[in-house]
Amino acid sequence: MLKKHFLLVMLVPVLCFSQVGGGEYTFNPDNIPCISKEDKAQIKIELQKNIKSLIQQGKLPQQKKSTLAPPSFIWPVKAKDNSEFTDVWAISNYVDHNSNFPDKVEDYNCDKRTYDTSSGYNHQGTDMYTWPFTWYQFENNIAEVVAAAAGTIILKHDGEFDMSCSFNNNRWNSIYIEHSDGSIAWYGHLKKGSLTSKNKGDTVSEGEFLGIVGSSGNSTGPHLHFEVYDSNENLVDPFKGECSSNTSLWKEQPNYYEPHINAIFTHSVAPNPNSSCPEIEVPNIVEEFLPNSKIFTASYYKDQLKGTTASYRLIRPNGSVFTRWSFDFDDTFTSSFWYWEWTNLADLGTWTFESNYQGQTVRKKFKIVSVLGVENHELTKINIAPNPFENILKLKGFDLDKDNFKMDIFNNLGQKVVEKNTFYDELDLQFLTKGMYFLKLTDKTNSSYKTFTILKK
């Protein structure tokens, strides 16, 4: 089970905001292994079998390649084009260079940002989890996995359940790419059905799309497990450090801690990105508000550092500064979020929320309007709980005339399996088989709608 921490800090009103809240988000706090020894052994057998087959087909060179230069990697996770996020990942764990166990860990920086287990598992890859709104990103295909270096696909596995929350011995959806020097990169935990249409023996270029970050196999939430082996099947840590190699395999190796603003948003309710796995978060991201209504401005950080300060501004539609403030960080968190509540923004027009941290400035536009559309306001308040559900699906936050809305549920094939001509707070769906469905709420003029992904246990 994915455990998360939520810190709420109430402050005496300062400047014009009335509340600050937020805190740390922790990924995989229980140190669940990413892959079992049995699965890893089976994968290595399949890889060697496929390499031999591809050599016979002339799709891989037969000669020894270890004398060639190793690959130089780009980062394998990126936000999809035109995403509302400035970045989509943070690092929870690096390769463990201490083969002893338990609780005897050493990452490439001779620090403890990795893990082992009492059963003898030493983490052997780099885990890049999606942040913020990890399941929202999963649902909307926001975090893409790309080829860190050019090469040939030597194994591809798809079709496995991709919303895991624990160690389960399921196999992961994955792609394995051999590079020109014979080294192999493993890309694990991908989303089912998202993998590239290319197959074993096809080549990929650097930066080419491989799939979507998912939570297949042994996993406590969406993340990419990136693991590298040389041509002699020796584990390779691509990070240069005092406790690893003298050579970095990254074209631009990230710093051990690299402070970054992953996103800033405006919300209609106080944000809480700490959903229960695998419940898809409802971020309530809104860009239009009525004058003097509740507005929450929020910033989401990767590698928040103790002793640093973030600064903020709210800028009126006429370009003048409404207010500015700063926030001191008392802790180091690999991922965190902080928000402020406002009830006194009245000037009609386009406002700007600006956040600056460690030399990075991010701006978010939002509007104060005199009339608010139904889709932009009321439907964004709806929450579904629980999701996943067993038999009864409950909807909360609907404040409109129920007779003016209809409800339809579709399966993965687009077939309508439930049809309701009015809105219901509860739906008895015990007759549905296990799987993923889509609930669509639509007003009877078909001018406003909202679609939810729901999962039947």
Tens-place pLDDT, residues 84-109: 999 999 999 999 999 999 999 999 99
Name the residue with tokens 């406590």: 220
Q: Residue 308: name the closest of 362, 254, 363, 261 by CA.
A: 261
- CATH number for region 20-26+258-368: 2.60.40.1930
5 pLDDT band, cuts 50/70/90, is very low
Q: What percent of the chain has pLDDT over 70?
A: 93
> Rounded distance, CA 150 to CA 405, Å?
51
- CATH number for region 374-456: 2.60.40.1220
pLDDT of residue 13 exceeding 60, the answer is no
Number of C-beta neighbours around residue 381 at 10 A: 17
Write down the CATH superfamily of domain 37-236.
Answer: Glucose Permease (Domain IIA) (2.70.70.10)
CB 214 within 8 A of CB 222: yes
Q: Residue 127: name the closest of 97, 91, 163, 74 by CA.
A: 91
Look at residue 113 in the predicted model and tell me its pLDDT: 95
Look at residue 153 in the predicted model and tell me its pLDDT: 98
CB 75 within 8 A of CB 260: no
Domain residue ranges of the chain, discontinuous segments joined by +: 20-26+258-368, 37-236, 374-456
Its pTM stands at 0.82
pLDDT, one tens digit per residue, over 395-428 is 988 877 888 888 999 887 778 899 998 899 999 9
Look at residue 204 in the predicted model and tell me its pLDDT: 98
Q: What does the buried/exposed string (b/e) look like for 91-101 if buried means 16 or more CB atoms within 10 Å of the residue's CB?
A: bbbbbbbbeeb
pLDDT, one tens digit per residue, over 14-45 is 455 666 899 999 998 888 888 888 999 999 99
CATH topology of 37-236 equal to that of 374-456?
no
363 is written with which tokens?
A: 């701006």
Q: Residue 213: name the closest of 263, 136, 141, 280 by CA.
A: 141
pLDDT, one tens digit per residue, over 316-352 is 999 999 999 999 999 999 999 999 999 999 999 999 9
